[in-house]
Amino acid sequence: MPAYYSASCKEVLKLLKTDSGGLSQAEAEDRLNLFGPNSLKPPPPISAWKILFNQFSNFIIYLLLFAVLFSIIIGEYGDSLVILAILVLNGIIGFFQEYNANRSLEALKRMATIQAAVLRDGKLKHVTAEQLVCGDILHLEHGDKIPADARLLNVVELQLDESPLTGESMPVRKQTAPISGQPGPADQTNMVFSSTSVVEGRGLAVVTACGQETEIGKISTMISEAKEEKTPLQRRLDRFGRNIGMVIIGICLLVFLLLMSRLRIDGEPLTNTIFLQFAFISISLAVAAVPTALPAVVTIALSIGTRRLLKKNMLVRRLTSVETLGSCDVICSDKTGTLTRNQMTVREGWCLGTSVDFDQDDGIHAIAKSEQLNLLFTAGVACNNSLANLRSDSGGNPTELALLRAADKAGITFEGKRLAERPFNSRRKCMSVAVESENRSLLYSKGAPEQMLNRCTHAVIQDSSPAMKRIPLSETERNDISDTYHRFGAQAMRVIAFAYREISDNEDFDDLAEEGLTFIGLQAMIDPPREGVVSAIEKAKLAHIRVIMITGDHRETANAIARQTGIEGECVTGPEIDAMNDIDLAVTLDTTNIFARVVPEHKQRIVSGLQDKGHIVAMTGDGVNDAPALKKADIGIAIGSGTDVAHEAADFVLLDDSFTSIVAGIEEGRGIYENIQKSIMLLLSGNLMEVLVIFLAVLLGFNLPLTALLLLWINLITDGAPALAYSVDPYGTAIMQRPPIPPGEGILPRTKLRLLVCLGSIGALISLVLFQLTGGGGNEVADIQRGQTVVFSYIVLFEMILVFILRRSYQVPLLSNHWLWIAVVFSLATQIFILYTPARFVFHVTALEIQEICYLLLATFVFMIPALIITRAKPN
């Protein structure tokens, strides 16, 4: 595509085969038929079937489905139906959560069709944006949203808000002269781009690119080409599932071989019945070893976290993304609209001898006591064209709106009558209005401080006397004014100077001279940080999370906002990134937390570079320019008031635009991860104990302490209910004072695995002793059933004690989760029901007597002593 910004207006029209009168209607229709409509390719619709299928795509689910299939083959239909019911319920919960989240996102989209004013056959007419073609002449006015990329042909004080595309917070003043070199979109001041909007002035432009060829179209293509990455939780669960699968297969084969060896040692013949019996024992052991309730636990924990986040105005698009927030150790944040309000605000007003800081509590009182400051803010209202925009909330020049809001905060109004105006232009760099106020005709002027100071011969000052007086401007005062606006500029504030003079009776309002002015003062403004951002960044630092600011603004502005929000580190610009190879960028990323003047490609390189270093990266943003990086990041967080393109690319949408919600989300994600980890600990400790009991019994030649049905009941019901109750467990007190989970760490770190093995092994040894003491070592069926019943009951008590012992290592208060207590009571109640009702005949167990109950209580006490010692050592 030609570099239209480098060509003259005449050359551009020639290249596009059009003229200043626009295309004919026939030619426009021909081009529309040839090149297609001016629209972006819509993202592929989210298939409900794909969402449903994704709920069943992990290794643990595959293991359970295999168990279902085998149970059906050997005729254990009850077991297979129970497991299948849990899997289906788990899939339904996850499906509806993600499906509803995507429907909620659709409701956020703006449905209005963009209209464009174009010249066709030399006449102005309005068409929909989709009907535009290259060569069309656009007529641009205040408030218009730009429907396509275009080269400007004529401008009258034209300013655009380009923050959705470039991240530039200040309006960009446009011109028509060619530009040399290879400037980025933010520096192509003779071009306008799709998705930006006119905040002031008017102009004519010729369309140079439509649809996918526009800057926003290129970004859309980058998004569609980005590969969907698995979340850390998905990767950890997959790795965990595969590891446990290999262990289970190994144990099952070993048990099967041991059983076959015992048969050979005893000299008994191998029959088909015995072979199937041994195979069934081995497969039952596999079912016992798989944490059957884990998929449901993970899904419900994530679902509960999703609802909590929605109450905090954070919409979750992908269920597994909730936990990913808790794993991230870097947040790459856009500046405009994310860290800042995207609203210019006057911070200081300054006059010779006095000033006001709006951040100070007594600032407004200072204005009331000073005639100088009153005059300064009155001039800001009088010399202003955005009053109607402020009242109607319909947009307008951000600088002028900031002046009006400052005056309103100070309680200052202007009731005079406007007589004439000299609009701002880039040559004079000032604007003036003639007004009639209190029977006097005055000229108020505002503009760039250097220009205004050159036009001033006097200044107003208020010394010790209550009245304000007018004095000649000496070199000392000029230096004082110059030093002040340079000081404001060094803080990345935009500075506007104000002056006035009286208009004589014989002056012509059409030719008002902007000379011999009296200097009033300066108003310094900036796009300030959002409320709560500073404390949120500090909280992130305490949680060992690095915050990086990425913006399209200039270096000075980026550094100023970084200082105000507490972001520390070096600053690097987009052109400097272009000069780096990947190795240089990797080194730069170690010390740089501020990136200025960047384009979408830079954001993707930054995110990729951080991911290559092993970081889990969250990227926040609201503009079209943020979308590719949102998609590339491990977790993309779009601002609710941002663009639809950003929403589509993100995993989260902040409905209230609050940066503090991100930190709340991180806390939620960490809490969810810990709750899932606790559930896995509970499930695996019990499962390990069951596997060891069977394995050791086979190894030592004992009778089997547990039947397949008892194993399945424990896994699905006894420990399933408390594991699910962990989903609503409150979070530990120090959850935001620890580092994030390292990316390479499994879902259970070594310390947790050691604890799990210790607890499971102690429980297994106690179970075997109980089994032998209570009749399990005999040859009578009734004695073996009694021993199995005692072991079955002990494992239930073991699991219930374990529920509370595990919480100690996570610093969770004992009585803080009533659902957990309900789950424990439910599990114990079902155990009593099985033992003392006719249900015992179904499970082939016996009612326990006083002696056996005493054995159980003693065994439980013996287990608690070492368990409490082990879990007391170090909190999580």
Residue by residue, DSSP assigns 366-429 as HHHH-HHHHHHHHHHHHS-S-HHHHHHT----HHHHHHHHHHHHTT-----EEEEEE---TTT-
Neighbours of 672 (CB within 10 A): 27
Q: What is the pLDDT of residue 227?
A: 53
Centroid of chain to Cα 57: 25
For 737, residues 6+ apart whose C-beta sits below 8 A from its C-beta are 542, 543
Fold agreement between 291-311+668-872 and 314-341+531-657:
no
Query: Are 338 and 561 a contacting pair, CB within 8 Å?
Result: no
* H or E stretch at 28: helix 25-35
The domain segmentation of the chain, as residue ranges, is: 1-216, 291-311+668-872, 314-341+531-657, 345-526
Strand partners, 572: 595
Give the model's pLDDT for residue 471.
93
CA Rg value for the chain: 36
Helix (H, G, I), strand (E, B) or coil at 591: coil
Residue type, 653: V
- Token pair of 177 as six digits: 């002269």
**Residue 107's pLDDT is what?**
45
Q: How many helices (H) and strands (E) does the chain have?
A: 32, 24
641-655 burial, b at 16+ Cβ within 10 Å, e below that, comes to ebbbbbbbbbbbbbb
pLDDT of residue 435: 93
669 contact partners, CB below 8 Å, separation of at least 6? 305, 322, 323, 324, 325, 326, 327, 328
- At 270, the amino acid letter reads L
Which ranges of the chain have pLDDT less than 50? Answer: 101, 104-105, 107-112, 392, 873-876
Q: What is the phi/psi pair of residue 121, to 5°?
A: 55, 35
Task: Read off φ and ψ for residue 478, nearest 5 degrees.
Answer: -60, -40
pLDDT value at residue 70? 67
Question: What pLDDT shows up at residue 287?
Answer: 62
Q: Which amino acid is at 139?
A: H
CATH for the 1-216 domain, from 3.40.50.300, 2.70.150.10, 3.30.300.30, 3.40.190.10: 2.70.150.10
**441 and 419 in contact (C-beta within 8 Å)?**
yes
Say what the pTM is.
0.67
Look up the CATH superfamily of 314-341+531-657.
HAD superfamily/HAD-like (3.40.50.1000)
First and final CA of the chain: distance in angstroms? 58
Alpha carbons 88 and 861: distance in angstroms, whole number: 39
Which residues are known to be catalytic? 334
What is the spatial distance between Cα 635 and Cα 212, in angstroms, rounded to a whole number?
Answer: 26
Say which residues have a Cβ less than 8 Å from residue 251's Cβ, sequence separation at least 6: 285, 286, 289, 691, 695
- Please, are residues 839 and 727 in contact by the beta-carbon 8 Å criterion? no
Identify the architecture of domain 345-526 in CATH.
3-Layer(aba) Sandwich (3.40)
Q: Find out whether 709 and 841 touch, Cβ atoms under 8 Å.
A: no
CATH of domain 291-311+668-872: 1.20.1110.10
The per-residue pLDDT for range 237-294, each reduced to its tens digit, is: 667 767 776 777 787 788 778 777 877 776 777 777 677 667 766 766 666 666 666 6
Residue 7 pLDDT: 92
- The single-letter code of the amino acid at 661 is S
Residue 12's pLDDT is 93
**The predicted structure's pLDDT at residue 286:** 67
Query: Angle CA(699)–CA(701)–CA(702) in degrees, nearest 5?
Result: 110
